[in-house]
Structure 1
Amino acid sequence: MLEWLFRSINGYVRICLRGGSPERFLNLCNARGLTIWGILCGKNGEYAAFMPLKDVRRVKPLVKKSGVHFRITGRFGLPFFIYRNKKRWYWAAGLGAFFLLLYTMTLFIWDIEFEGNYRYTDDNLRVSLEKQEIRCGILKGKIDCGELEAFLRTDLPEVTWVSVSITGTRLFVRIRENEVLSHVPQTDQSPCDLVAAKSGTIRSMVVREGAPQVEVGDTVEAGQLLVSGRIPVTGDDGAEITSHLVRADADIEAETTEEYEKKLPLVRTVRTPAGQKRRGLYLKAGPLSFTFLMPASGEKEEWDYQMEERQAKLFSNYYLPFYLGIIEGKRMVSYERAYTQQELSDLAEEARKENREKLEEKGVQILENNDKIEKSVSGYQIKGQMVVVESIVKRQPVTETPNEPEE
């Protein structure tokens, strides 16, 4: 392959030898160090072969000695191509301009990739890079990788290690985040009471700090005091001498009721594919974008479009500022119809499942679930009720100050 490439660049010809002594001509060429390959002998005694262009100019004395008729039957390679197209200089100019533009684009960054980020999103990291004016389209020569690494470590406190490198037209930013938070949140130690966040019947109660005001089995109302942060100190006669304030702490679970509701209209809009499709192309070059779509048959038609965009690249790490997207559209038809009983049941199940998942994420235990579908003039109403066991503790500051001891 390389040998053929070098021969094409330097140029070569196909020759035909007839009459005289072709064998002597070939021997003389071999003795003079001239290159000949692909020798073929025809039925009528003619020889055909290939010879480099630079050696053709040296064969004239050998042709006279051997007495052969030397004829060139084909010319190949770059020198002959240029000669044949010397009047079409604009082709060469266009080709040269294309490669010059291609080379110019390789001097810029056209893609930024992040690795190792979990706490920081790609958008957060791009914002940090833009503080240093690092974005797609910047010259690679303006990027100081060491300086950028030091800036990212300073700007992002949870990052412990940064590596910035440039490969092709891509900027790689690899980071390692701190697995332990750099600061521990300060906990509030001020005195407080525990009150009921909602009404319910207490199922379990474990008090770690404070004076309990209710017991297991009691029914409490929202806002009722459960554990007091005021601890009284009594004397031998049972009278209160003084008191001190603490931060009440307890795990109190109660059986409560969670309600949810979902409203639906009497009819709903349904969109279905009509079978017609449209295709198009989306082209983007830097800040410019173009969209080419097949014309639609009517202006009031509804279409749903989806597009997959891809960035042009020469090799794995040589991205270019060109984007191509294939657009596919489906014509949709809209009409209104009433809900079926099955659809209402499915929507009720969906609402039930959604609320159940929200409660389970909070660690709430679900004991019972009931729902019903009501119909009115304005529409449907899905009403649900769940009996759950959950924590009802809510903190509020202690407003009462401790009593001063009598002298």
Structure 2
Amino acid sequence: MIIWLNRYIFGYLFVELTGFSPERFFNICSVHEVELWKIVNTGTSYRFFMSVKGFRRIKPLVRKSKVRLRILKKFGLPFFLYRNRKRKAYGAGFACFFILLYCLSLFIWDIEFEGNRMYTYDTLLKYFESEEIHYGMRKSNIDCDALEEALRTNFPEITWVSARVSGTRLLVKIKENEVLSEIPARDETPCNIVAEKDGVITSMIVRSGVPKASIGDQVVKGQVLVSGVLPVIGDSEEIMNVHYIRSDADITARTEYHFTKQIPLLQKIDVETGKTRRGLYGKLFSYSLLIIRPRPEGTFWKITMEEEQLHLFQNFYLPVYFGTITGKEYISYERPYTEEEKKQLADEINERLKKKLLEKGVQILENHVRILDNESLCQAAIDFVAEEPIGRREGLEIQRTEEPKETSQ
């Protein structure tokens, strides 16, 4: 590539050689280190390429070897400029193109984040906009050191950040903290543990507090399971005092969930007709252009578009976007669901509900799905029998009693 570029800049020639002793000419060129390449014997002559500088050096060699050279074609930048020396507008446009590229290279046209998981791309981009860092700003106005410090200050979970400008892109690499930034303070507020929902207790481990229920008991929502009121009993079996503590226990119970979800009686079907419309999409800065045939009146189309940002090199992005548009015609109609489709819809609803329960730590023991169908209404009745933690802390009211004052007579 470098050799070809050098030849193009200084120019090279396609030459035909005829005469008495071409072999002697080639030997002399080799001795004087004159470069010849792609030598072809046509039978009556030899044809090859050589540089302009080499052609000027071989004039005495041509006379010495008694051969003749004829230039067949000229290549390279010097000859291109000479042929177009009168095309001033062409040269001006060529120069303006490179001037425009240089001007565009002074601005940022793409921002990329790498390593962010907790903070989304949109969150970080909005923060950049609040700090007046955005697409189209001058690269010289970006202080990467200040930007790194601001990110670490405003986003506590970011432990390391590196920002740099490469070409027309702002590249930001982020490393987030994978452990808690600080240990939460331990809460010692007195409280009871109450049932969060109805159920039958299957397991109960109490670490502090007074149990008010046991395994196998049926409990209702709001019922106290572990009390944070600890009585102090004297020798005569009387309550002498009361201590208030923070109850702590692991309590699981067998619970039930009942859901009823409505299923539509009719479904909308979209069928493609096979007709398509294709077009082009272009965008320069904030101006966009769509080139596509207008849709016939009364027809419906699904439009998809693929967009790509223009870049000359890996990090030299430009504010130019282009893409293709594809439209597919479709017609719609409604029809009743079949029994198999109703069952499939009910199963999908069941899977979504089951997924939500599992994400909450609920263990599914039994799962039943029924379809309740009549002429005017169709419903999916879904029942779950589960086992899950039901204990929830609830603050208790502390009652303070005043001791009787002693009187002296």
TM-score interval (norm. to shorter): 0.7 to 0.9
Q: Equivalences for 1:321-340 in 2 at 5 Å?
A: 321-340=319-338
Q: Distance in 2 between matches of 1:204 and 1:266?
A: 44
1:223 positional shift:
1.8
Q: Distance in 1 between matches of 2:160 and 2:357?
A: 39
Q: Distance in 1 between matches of 2:224 and 2:64?
A: 125
Moved more, 230-239 or 35-44: 35-44
Q: Distance in 2 between matches of 1:213 and 1:49?
A: 104
- Read off the aligned partner of 1:366 and give its amino acid letter: I
1:295 positional shift:
3.2
Q: Equivalences for 1:270-281 in 2 at 5 Å?
A: 270-281=269-280
SS at match of 2:89: helix
1:339 positional shift:
0.9
Match of 2:382 in 1: 384
Paired residue for 2:361, among 363, 370, 385? 363
> What is the count of residue pairs matched by the alignment?
403
Match of 2:297 in 1: 299
Q: Distance in 2 between matches of 1:40 and 1:230?
A: 107
Match of 1:218 in 2: 217
1:241 positional shift:
1.8
> Per-residue CA shift, 1:139-176, capped at 9, x if unaligned?
22222222222222222222222212222222211122
Q: Distance in 2 between matches of 1:330 and 1:70?
A: 64
SS at match of 1:79: helix
1:179 positional shift:
2.8
TM norm structure 1: 0.84
Moved more, 388-397 or 182-191: 182-191
Paired residue for 2:339, among 338, 341, 355? 341
Q: Distance in 2 between matches of 1:253 and 1:14?
A: 91
Any stretches of 5+ residues in structure 1 without a counterpart? none
Match of 1:253 in 2: 252
Contact 2:195 2:219 (C-alpha < 8 Å) held by counterparts: yes
Contact 1:230 1:402 (C-alpha < 8 Å) held by counterparts: no
Q: Distance in 2 between matches of 1:377 and 1:40?
A: 89
SS at match of 1:255: strand
Q: Does residue 83 of the first structure (1) align with residue 82 of the second (2)?
A: yes
Q: Equivalences for 1:62-141 in 2 at 5 Å?
A: 74-141=73-140
Contact 1:311 1:322 (C-alpha < 8 Å) held by counterparts: yes
> Per-residue CA shift, 1:315-364, capped at 9, x if unaligned?
11211111122222222221111111001111121122222222222222
SS at match of 2:379: strand
Instruction: Go from structure 1 to structure 2 and tell me whether the alpha carbon gap of 1:86 and 1:340 turns closer, same or farther (over 3 Å shift).
Output: same
1:54 positional shift:
6.8
SS at match of 1:320: strand
1:291 positional shift:
1.7
TM norm structure 2: 0.84
Instruction: Go from structure 1 to structure 2 and tell me whether the alpha carbon gap of 1:293 and 1:212 turns closer, same or farther (over 3 Å shift).
Output: same
Q: Distance in 1 between matches of 2:316 and 2:246?
A: 62
Match of 2:164 in 1: 165
1:76 positional shift:
4.1
Any stretches of 5+ residues in structure 2 without a counterpart? none
Q: Distance in 2 between matches of 1:129 and 1:342?
A: 52
1:59 positional shift:
9.3
- Read off the aligned partner of 1:341 and give its amino acid letter: E
Q: Distance in 1 between matches of 2:55 and 2:64?
A: 15
Q: Distance in 2 between matches of 1:219 and 1:79?
A: 98
Moved more, 178-187 or 250-259: 178-187
1:221 positional shift:
1.9
Contact 1:209 1:249 (C-alpha < 8 Å) held by counterparts: yes
> Per-residue CA shift, 1:267-300, capped at 9, x if unaligned?
121222222222222211111111222333x223
Moved more, 3-12 or 135-144: 3-12
SS at match of 1:401: coil
Q: Distance in 2 between matches of 1:34 and 1:367?
A: 90
Q: Distance in 2 between matches of 1:43 and 1:263?
A: 90
Contact 1:202 1:219 (C-alpha < 8 Å) held by counterparts: yes
SS at match of 1:147: helix
SS at match of 1:163: strand
Give me the CA root mean square deviation: 3.5
Instruction: Go from structure 1 to structure 2 and tell me whether the alpha carbon gap of 1:253 and 1:404 turns closer, same or farther (over 3 Å shift).
Output: farther
Q: Does residue 9 of the first structure (1) align with residue 9 of the second (2)?
A: yes
Q: Distance in 2 between matches of 1:227 and 1:68?
A: 114
SS at match of 2:325: strand
1:377 positional shift:
4.8
Q: Distance in 2 between matches of 1:366 and 1:382?
A: 19
